[in-house]
Amino acid sequence: MLHRRTFLAAAAAAACSPALVARGRTLSALRERAGDPRDAASLASDEDFWLPVQQAFMQDRSIINLNNGGTSPCPTHVHDALKLRLDEANRLPPPYALWQLQHPQYEVVRTRLARHWGVDAEELALTRNSSESLMICQLGIDLKPGDEIVTSTQDYPRMLAAFRQREAREGVKLVQVKLPVPCEDDGEAVRRFEAAITPRTRLILVSHVINLTGQILPVRQIVAMARARNGGIPVIVDGAHALAQFRFSIADLGCDYYGVSLHKWLHAPVGTGLLYVRRDKIAPLWPLTPAPPGRESDIRKFEEIGTHPEANILCVAEALTFHQLIGDDRKEARLRYLRERWTARLASSGRATFNTPASPTHACAIGNVRLDGLDTAKLQAWLWDKHRILTVAILHEECTGLRISPSIYTTLDELDRFGDAIEHALAHGMG
């Protein structure tokens, strides 16, 4: 039998565990730094400011993760909150815990995300990732045989596969635009999309950030152009790599649909995403999973996926709080500073060709580099096998290169070790 005194002693011991105490100190230090009056640019290179951010993550520092564009880890306290939510749903009767206790709390998450990114909460669905969000739109918009869809040759393969399935099943036509690599001329990007439009164009998909290179596209201008053509061509925006990487408002983009993964730059648990649908577009958009009658105009119809863990979405709130504690501008400046640090070092070799723009308005955290004399796929494997540095080999015909995406927990020492390894490969090969 567990006596009250024994229970209290155990609880006190747990509360004073070294891990919890250290975590509390880290978050406390971060809260103190949140009030720093200096501008974002000044703080970007202040290692004392970023130390508690780095310590907020439970990372194996024997591995250098430079593929945060794939998915990012959660801060330790967010991961702990996820485990507590999962424990709660397992300890209590699941029908009660999931559907009566936890699911109603979605509305708080929805409201907070909507407020931060400048849209109405009734236009925001909570999904599992950007693929699910985007496919709701890609497969749910009515099209007829012969209707045309415009996108680029650099869009995410899964999104292209969704449109090709519609081509095969329904007889629609996919039209792909080739964009310059890199592209620092917004007008040229808009002109290329516009040149692909015909009287049969019914839909446009554009990436806010191209996953291959980190290129930021002029979404607002493309949306405005599309709205003036064919009575207003709707635009789906793939925002998988944009949200929480740099400051913007979804509302300011003017788009009709916006899909996001929250487990990338927001550092929410894996399996979290959001979908923005402009209010007048909700009713005519078919959900992937049919919703009950009477919900045609309810944004929540896109969340009807059956029984699933509620914990992941609820912990988005913890990740958003962490993001807000750092601040959009500070985070953006730090991510751009990290990219500029490693690109400057590789540029000095004279053997680096960058597929990512140098302009700070056209790129933030992600960079893509090709190194003369080094095979990209072999370099990616060598960096992992020899140095335990995780990168991505992009083998697209238009932008072959190594994709590098550090994050806010990345240390300068880790970037420097990456630079050391590249310089060694350039000088001595990958033997």
Residue 128 and residue 209 in one domain: yes
Residue 293 and residue 352 in one domain: no
Whether residue 88 is contained in a domain is answered as no
Residue 211 and residue 334 in one domain: no
Whether residue 9 is contained in a domain is answered as no
Instruction: Give the end of a domain, one of 320, 344, 372.
Output: 320
CATH number at residue 132: 3.40.640.10
Predicted local distance difference test score (pLDDT) of residue 388: 98
Residue 40 and residue 169 in one domain: no
Whether residue 398 is contained in a domain is answered as yes
Contact indicator for 403, 368 with CB cutoff of 8 Å: yes
Predicted local distance difference test score (pLDDT) of residue 33: 79
Whether residue 68 is contained in a domain is answered as no
Measured CA to CA, the distance from residue 259 to residue 240 in angstroms comes to 7
Whether residue 72 is contained in a domain is answered as no
Question: What does the pLDDT profile of the chain (431 residues) look like in tens digits?
Answer: 334 443 344 444 445 555 566 667 777 887 887 888 999 999 999 999 999 999 999 999 999 999 999 999 999 999 999 999 999 999 999 999 999 999 999 999 999 999 999 999 999 999 999 999 999 999 999 999 999 999 999 999 999 999 999 999 999 999 999 999 999 999 999 999 999 999 999 999 999 999 999 999 999 999 999 999 999 999 999 999 999 999 999 999 999 999 999 999 999 999 999 999 999 999 999 999 999 999 999 999 999 999 999 999 999 999 999 999 999 999 999 999 999 999 999 999 999 999 999 999 999 999 999 999 999 999 999 999 999 999 999 999 999 999 999 999 999 999 999 999 999 999 999 98
Residue 342 and residue 386 in one domain: yes
Measured CA to CA, the distance from residue 207 to residue 244 in angstroms comes to 15
Instruction: Give the end of a domain, one of 267, 295, 320.
Output: 320
Predicted local distance difference test score (pLDDT) of residue 9: 43
Residue 136 and residue 187 in one domain: yes
Q: Which two tokens stand for residue 204?
A: 């446009």
Residue 32 and residue 171 in one domain: no
Of 388, 371, 389, 368, nearest in space to 429 by CA: 371
Residue 216 and residue 295 in one domain: yes
Whether residue 314 is contained in a domain is answered as yes
CATH number at residue 381: 3.90.1150.10
Predicted local distance difference test score (pLDDT) of residue 29: 80
Instruction: Give the end of a domain, one of 320, 350, 371.
Output: 320
Predicted local distance difference test score (pLDDT) of residue 49: 95
Predicted local distance difference test score (pLDDT) of residue 21: 63
Residue 206 and residue 245 in one domain: yes
Q: Which two tokens stand for residue 128?
A: 């599992």
Residue 343 and residue 314 in one domain: no
Number of domains the chain contains: 2
Predicted local distance difference test score (pLDDT) of residue 295: 94
Measured CA to CA, the distance from residue 219 to residue 118 in angstroms comes to 16
Residue 130 and residue 152 in one domain: yes
Q: What is the domain extent for residue 415?
A: 18-56+327-431
Residue 234 and residue 275 in one domain: yes
